[in-house]
Amino acid sequence: MKKIILSMLLAAGLLGQTTVSKAQDVPLGENLVKYVNPLLGTESDFSLSNGNTYPAIALPWGMNFWTPQTGKMGDGWGYTYQAKKIRGFKQTHQPSPWINDYAAFSIFPETGKVIIDGAKRASWYSHKAEISRPDYYRAYLADYDVVTEITPTDRAARFRFTFPQSDSSRVLIDAFNMGSMVKIIPQERKIIGYCRNNHGGVPDNFHNYFVIYFDKPFTVAGTWKNNTKLSQGSTEAEGEHVGAVITFKTEKGEQVNARVASSFISPEQAELNLQREIGNDSFDQVKEKAYQAWNKQLNRIRVEGGTVDQYRTFYTALYRTMLFPRKFFELNADNEIVHYSPYNGKVEKGYMFTDNGFWDTFRAVFPFFTLMFPEHDSQVMQGLVNTYKESGWLPEWASPGHRDCMIGSNSASIIADAYMKGIRGFDIHTLYDAILKNTKGVGPVHSVGRYGADYYNKLGYIPYNVGINENAARTLEYAYDDWCIWRLANALDRPKKEIKLFAQRAMNYKNVFDPSVDFMRGRNEDGTFQSPFRPDKWGDAFTEGCSWHYTWSVFQDPAGLAKLFGSREKMAKRLDEVFTTRPTFDDSYYGIQIHEITEMLIANMGQYAHGNQPIQHATYLYNYLGQPWKAQMHVRDVMDKLYTPNPDGLCGDEDNGQTSAWYVFSAMGFYPVAPGSNQYVLGSPLFKEITLKLENGNTFTVVADKNSHKNVYIEKASLNGQTYDKNYLTHEAIEKGGEIKFEMGNQPNKTRGTQPDSFPYSFSDKK
């Protein structure tokens, strides 16, 4: 993602053991945390993304994550599987390597001579002696003969260091650059400080205040500034880049424990977070609570009838849907929900969430919240209200405040989807006002509001030749968002003139479709289409993709798109060609072969580029075209081919859980093609049985009889015992609870779901 500027160990709990799953069904069990591999996707770099993830040791949507640090300070690739040395254990808030980190500092044990420089102090380690789970991390630092263990809470963590016999066992606190402070208070076995590092989106008074307590007395080794020589005996330092070192005398195998917490509000709030979330709990007690928190949430979806590797892939994907957007709020001394505003720099009341790019997550992550975590989604909506009040705009890419990244005004999608699916508890009228403001102009950065709104509102599209990049992509996304606004305006009983306006704008996708080539295409201000034109030209009129990908970005109206092609059959033929056409490309817009292009090439799936978001829904469009068996075939093929539980187990950027949310939905057998509608379009369920434990107390079960690697086609279906011929499920049907039962086979059923009455919603049909 966001980057145009530029085998697995069973780490889920078995130290030093490589496991090859047997290709047979196995019982799931109750401990689902053991299937999660936070190392999935970490075998990535600038040139090729297999996820661009890092092992996030955290609670669901926790304010702070912890991760081992193999990269240099400030490098977006903070942990890469192929690296051989660890240089720190970092508190991180990074949502993407392309956005980078903020408010980071690290803790690192050493023995012997004090080594300050990150590269020089880095220690050899091995994945054979590494455990990585959501609730627990462990690594052995061979250069120092020290084992480091971490277990998290929302805003705090417990560390446990197992040292050798030494008079010079040490712990180093690196507060990082861009402004930091440390103060050692030996009589309290305590270190306090702050860090200010960021890559944008922060007010001038931004600080992350931290506090660390140790359970063993220590002596002061000193502090340093800017990677220079240690100032022996110094207890305080403040500057561009400072750190602190303390020393213990330890016996062989002696464990030293540390409790650490932080706050964006104040040092006092950091202390309060530590006391509230850890208090006097031991390392093992904190670890057990973290395990229980994850296991409870993972058990919300139970799958049966799969292989171990399928369980690992599924539950790791589920874990990744529960990381972002992160909590950016805290509880004050009066137990009030408060937050430091990354928009106005004040401490305000109420919820705040951050670290999310809606261009990615509107597609599946937020629809997943509406289905499985509506209370959490309501809190996020409350946070959006606060963002609007504090900044005057809705966020589109926040980290922690507004960032200039990506296109669209897809906050409209996630707000409309939440409200239309019955989620309440937030001020929808304020959010609607904010959505309307978005449609009229651009915000403080190009990604906020609507860049090119004047042209779009006047012409019905953003011209190719007026200096606004990615113009066709913006037009398509604005049209979809206008359909979301139309849906919401109807539900809120807005004026008829307003409703009509957005109904008209929802059809603006037609303005960038060229029937002479049957592709979406940049269009000039005078109405002519861009020339020359190559459907495989990445960027330019499109965003991190080409016309092969964006031609399908008509989520709200596939039936209308089919009419532009001339028929459903013609649209299906072009969709077939996505998978069969040679993966040629034109990268002249970027001047380099960006990693998304490479990821498409190596997948050997034609022009299909699942590693980036714009085309991820396209496999499901066959359900609108009378050929649902093709959706079943392609969806299962993508799951089987492009997802594994290994460090290279993703096929592009994870992007705040979107790539994983696609897998979670698809494995369940359905997908939200058009968030803002009440429908989930059918695919091919991966497991023999999937049970959803809904927040309202109901359960919904997907049963897939005879399901197997070869039996990917739906022969017939029944919903609560009644024959079911629709190519979709409604949100209401799932929420009521019940069972959809599929009979699977190895040959396509070319009669089921082929008639218009079975097709999912399209705006042109006004279903």
3-state secondary structure 668-679: HCEECCCECECE
- For residues 431 and 72, what is the distance between their CA atoms, to the nearest angstrom? 41
The confidence band for 23, taking pLDDT boundaries of 50, 70 and 90, is: low
* 3-state SS assignment for residue 479: helix
Give me the residues paired with residue 356 across strands. 398
Q: Is the pLDDT of residue 181 over 80?
A: yes
CA distances from 421 to 81, 306, 487, 672 (A): 40, 31, 11, 12
CA-CA distance, 702 to 741, in Å (whole number)? 6
Q: Are 579 and 630 in contact (CB under 8 A)?
A: no
| Predicted pLDDT of residue 408 | 83
| Separation of first and last alpha carbons in the chain | 34
pLDDT of residue 4: 39
C-alpha to C-alpha distance for 278 and 296, rounded to whole angstroms = 20
The one-character DSSP state at 33 is G
Give the model confidence (pLDDT) of 400-441 as tens digits: 999 999 998 999 999 999 999 999 999 999 999 999 999 999
Distance CA 169, CA 251 (A): 10
The token pair at 262 is 């932080």
Q: What is the rounded average pLDDT of the residues 453-457?
A: 98
pLDDT at 22 over 50: no
Task: Please report the pLDDT score of residue 405 as a whole number.
Answer: 95
DSSP 343: T
Strand-pair category, 236-239 with 180-185:
antiparallel
Q: What local confidence, expressed as pLDDT, does residue 14 receive? A: 34
Q: Which two tokens stand for residue 222?
A: 């000193």
Element (H, E) at 67: strand 65-69
pLDDT band, very low/low/confident/very high, at 176 (cuts 50, 70, 90): very high
Query: SS3 for 537?
Result: strand
- Whether pLDDT at 21 is above 80: no
One DSSP character per residue, 690-705 reads EEEE-TTS-EEEEEEE
**pLDDT score for 24:** 67
For the cut 70, the answer to whether the pLDDT of residue 721 exceeds it is yes
User: Residue 9: which of 49, 70, 46, 55 has the closest Cα?
Assistant: 55
Could you report the per-residue pLDDT of 266-312, keeping only the tens digit for each? 999 999 999 999 999 999 999 999 999 999 999 999 999 999 999 99
Which pLDDT belongs to residue 643? 98
Residue carrying the six token digits 């005057």: 392
Query: What integer is the mean pLDDT of 343-356?
Result: 98
Residues 688 and 760: their CA atoms lie apart, in Å, by 24
Q: Average the pLDDT over 90-119 and give the result.
A: 97
Radius of gyration in angstroms for the set of CA atoms belonging to the chain, rounded to a whole number: 26
Mean pLDDT, the chain, rounded, equals: 95
Nearest partner of 421 among 372, 358, 382, judged by Cα = 372
Q: Global pTM? A: 0.95
Q: In the predicted model, is pLDDT for residue 234 greater than 80?
A: yes
* pLDDT score recorded for residue 375: 98
Percent of the chain with pLDDT over 70: 97
DSSP state of 449: B
Considering the chain, what percentage of its residues have pLDDT values greater than 90?
Answer: 95
pLDDT tens digits for range 183-204: 999 999 999 999 999 999 999 9
Q: Is 237 helix (H, G, I), strand (E, B) or coil?
A: strand
Please state the rounded mean pLDDT for residues 457-466: 98
Cα distances from 322 to residues 292, 293, 336, 392, 470, in angstroms, run 15, 12, 24, 28, 31
3-state secondary structure of 328: coil
Burial class (CB in 10 A: 0-12, 13-18, 19+), 127: middle
Q: DSSP letter string over 163-209? A: E-SEEEEEEEEE--SSSEEEEEEGGGTEEEEEE---SS---TT--EE
The band of 767, judged by pLDDT with boundaries at 50, 70 and 90, is: very low
pLDDT in tens, 82-102: 999 999 999 999 999 999 999
Q: How far apart are CA 556 and CA 507, in angstroms?
A: 9
pLDDT tens digits, 142-158: 999 999 999 999 999 99
In whole angstroms, what is the distance from residue 64 CA to residue 106 CA? 12
Closest by CA to 235, choosing from 224, 227, 223, is: 223
Give, as one character, the DSSP assignment of residue 246.
E
